[in-house]
Amino acid sequence: MSGTKKNAKPTIIIRREEVIEGGHHGGAWKVAYADFVTAMMAFFLLMWLLNATTQEQRRGLADYFSPNNLTSRSNSGFGAPFGGLTPNLEGSLASDRGAVQLTTGPTRPIIDMEESEEDTPIMSPKQHISGPTLLTMAQDGAAAPVSTQATAPSDAAHTSVNPFAAERAPPSTAKAAEAEAEREQRERAGFEQAAEQIREAVRSDPALAGLAKQLAIELTPEGLRIQIMDEDRTPMFALGASALNDRARALLSKVAPVLLRLTQPVAIDGHTDAAPYRGTDRSNWDLSAERANATRRLLTDAGLPELRIRSVAGHADRDPLLPADPLAAANRRIAILVLRDRPAAQAH
């Protein structure tokens, strides 16, 4: 036994660790890379939006993400980015805890906002802020824009309004249209009165009673037209001549005083029939223009200011009163047109 133990070999234990390549090395870099890619995508999306939108659209986007910016007037909400609403729309600031009110009346002294709290009077929720676009303080809500001028409650009527909605509204033209309609009505009444005065002056003169049918007065879109026409055997001008005879002068003497009481400009037109000149270089153009100018001289001699004469024109036989009968005596006439006053915007 002792010999066996003495010759025995020692036991040697060898440990080997097997290394497997391609094992797990950690995934933190993937999270960082994903964050980087997301940030780059957001950056390029922002650059694309800045390039693809207008300044007004970008301001609307800013307003959308800043709903408390009450001073902004940009378009946003419905009909603009995201189809949302903004505080600028009518009713957006409404609540059951306060109301927007507008008051008028005398103002109190300006309160110095830098005074200490104990020296500054506390504004009651029922007090109202003066001025056309100033708001009251909401009792439990956020404070709306206010002025430092305050007034005590007065007996003036209180009207609930939204000043932002009024600010966006286009200028009203209702008053301008009403004023224009009133002006046209006064002008029409003045023309009708002038026409009646001329008719009455002719009727009241026995020497002119027979010429009343040669006088035609009417209201037209251009103004008040007064026409003196020829009639068979009672012409206003001698045949082929431009000087007015005594009957025409007497008739115009009744017209001139009425024209002096008006203020509108005057246009004078001469017309002839279709009978041509024979054996001369003159034409109906010359005759109609000369007769119109002779009428102008008679009116200015009666006191009509030259500055009120807008035009003097001859139309020959191009605008007959009786187109079916070009040779009719009524086509030989003088037309005095008192022009309507028109606003500068319509005159051009």
> 242-251 pLDDT, tens per residue?
888 888 898 8
Phi, psi of 20 (to 5 degrees): -100, 115
Other CB atoms within 10 Å distance of the CB of residue 89: 15
Task: Band the pLDDT of 104: cuts 50, 70, 90.
Answer: low
Q: With 90 as the cut, is the pLDDT of residue 96 above it?
A: no
User: Given this model, what pLDDT does residue 147 score?
Assistant: 44
For range 119-124, the mean pLDDT: 47
User: Given this model, what pLDDT does residue 158 score?
Assistant: 45
User: Given this model, what pLDDT does residue 76 score?
Assistant: 46
User: Given this model, what pLDDT does residue 126 score?
Assistant: 43
Which amino acid type is present at position 188?
R
Task: Band the pLDDT of 48: cuts 50, 70, 90.
Answer: confident
Q: Are strands 266-271 and 309-314 parallel, antiparallel or unpaired?
A: parallel
User: Given this model, what pLDDT does residue 127 score?
Assistant: 47
**128-147 pLDDT, tens per residue?**
444 444 334 334 444 444 44
Specify the higher pLDDT residue, 152 or 55: 55
Most confident of the following: 10-19, 115-124, 221-230: 221-230
CA distances (Å), 182 to each of 188, 207, 346, in order? 10, 39, 17
Q: With 80 as the cut, is the pLDDT of residue 310 above it?
A: yes
Specify the higher pLDDT residue, 101 or 26: 26
Contact 328, 231 (CB under 8 A): no
Question: All domains of the chain, ordered by start, with CATH?
Answer: 100-105+124-169 (no CATH), 176-347 (3.30.1330.60)
Task: Band the pLDDT of 124: cuts 50, 70, 90.
Answer: very low
User: Given this model, what pLDDT does residue 71 score?
Assistant: 52
User: Given this model, what pLDDT does residue 299 score?
Assistant: 94
Of the listed ranges 26-35, 223-232, 249-258, 260-269, the least confidently predicted one is 26-35
Q: Which residues are CB-neighbours of 199 under 8 A, at least 6 positions away?
A: 212, 215, 217
